Amino acid sequence: MSSPNQIFFGPIIGPCMPGPPHAIEAISADLDLEKRHENTLENAMKFVHGLSSVNVIELSLTDNRHEIISELTSKVVTKSIFPNTVKEVMNLEEHIQVTDRVLNSLESFTHCIVYITGLTILVQALYISWSKHVHALGKHSCGQLIFAHRDRTSDSYKLFDSQTGKSIDPEPLSEIIKFNKKV
C-alpha cells in the first residue's frame, strides 16, 4: 500500500518489462498531489511509448518456397530475403550482398524473425551479413535476429535466438504486435 509520499506502480509488467508477472514496485517520492498525478501520467506515457517503439519484422528466407504462416499473427508472411529460385547456389558473396541490401532496406526493428526455408548456404549468407551489421553498428543498434525453424511434429515454427540458440516464446512478441496496431 502506498503512503501519501509514494507513487505506486504495479503490476505493470508487460512484454517488454523484465521481472515476474506479479511484480509490484513502490517508488518513494516526496511530491504534492498535483506532482504525483503528473509523474504517474508521465511514467505511463513512457511505458506506452516504450512498447510502441518495439517493432517486430517477419521475413521468409526464400520467396514462395512454402506458405509461411506467422507464429505471431497467424497471417501469411509475404516478405522474403531471396527469390524462390537462386541461380548460382554456391555464390556466397552474391548472397551476402543480397542480405546486406535487404537488411539495409528494412525499417528500424527490435526483433527480426526469419522463417528458415530453402538452402542452408542462404542461412549462412544471412548470418554473415547480420554479423557484419552488428559489428559495424553495435549489438544494441541491430535488434534481435530470430530464426524460425519448422517443427514437423507440431506443424508449426519454433523460434530461436540466432546468437544464443535460446528458445523464444512467440506470445510476448504477438502481444507487442497487437499493442502497436492499437497505438
For residue range 39-92, list pLDDT tens digits in order. Answer: 554 544 444 445 457 789 999 999 988 889 999 999 999 999 999 888 899 999
Identify the helix (H) or strand (E) that includes residue 94.
helix 92-105
Give residue 40's pLDDT.
52
Q: Where are the domains of the chain?
A: 6-52, 56-182
The answer to whether the CB of 106 falls within 8 A of the CB of 57 is yes
For residue range 123-163, list pLDDT tens digits in order. Answer: 999 999 999 988 888 766 678 999 999 988 998 999 999 98
- Closest to 146 (Cα-Cα) out of 132, 158, 128, 154: 158
